[in-house]
Amino acid sequence: MNVGPAVEAYLVDLGIHAIDQLARQTADELYRRLQRRIGKACDPCLHDTFSAIIHEARTGQKRPWFSFTPARKRREATGQLDLRVSSRARA
């Protein structure tokens, strides 16, 4: 549901070619890997998109990417998630 051409290209670039591969990922790690690969910050909404497509891969339940935004923002606000490019934060 949330995979358009740009997200598909990111996934392929990260070596994700199948739904079962995607289901074994975490949004935190995919987002960090992408940022390291391209060498710059990505829009945090991409983290939400990764969360949504991983959720769908694991459960079959389709939810819009923006439904994952509040949880990401809570984690960022409490220091549980740091999405900066140079981050060494916990996954």
pLDDT at 88 over 60: no
Reading the block at residue 42, the tokens are 């990505």
Q: What is the distance in angstroms between the CA of the first residue and the CA of the last residue of the chain?
A: 25
Give the model confidence (pLDDT) of 39-83 as tens digits: 999 999 999 999 999 999 999 999 999 999 999 999 999 999 999
Residues with Cβ within 8 Å of 53's Cβ and at least 6 positions away in sequence, in order, are 1, 2, 3, 7, 22
Reading the block at residue 11, the tokens are 């996934």
- Region 28-41: what's the mean pLDDT? 95
pLDDT at 91 over 50: no
At 85, is the pLDDT very low, low, confident or very high (cuts 50, 70, 90)? confident
- Region 9-20: what's the mean pLDDT? 97
Q: Are 89 and 82 in contact (CB under 8 A)?
A: yes
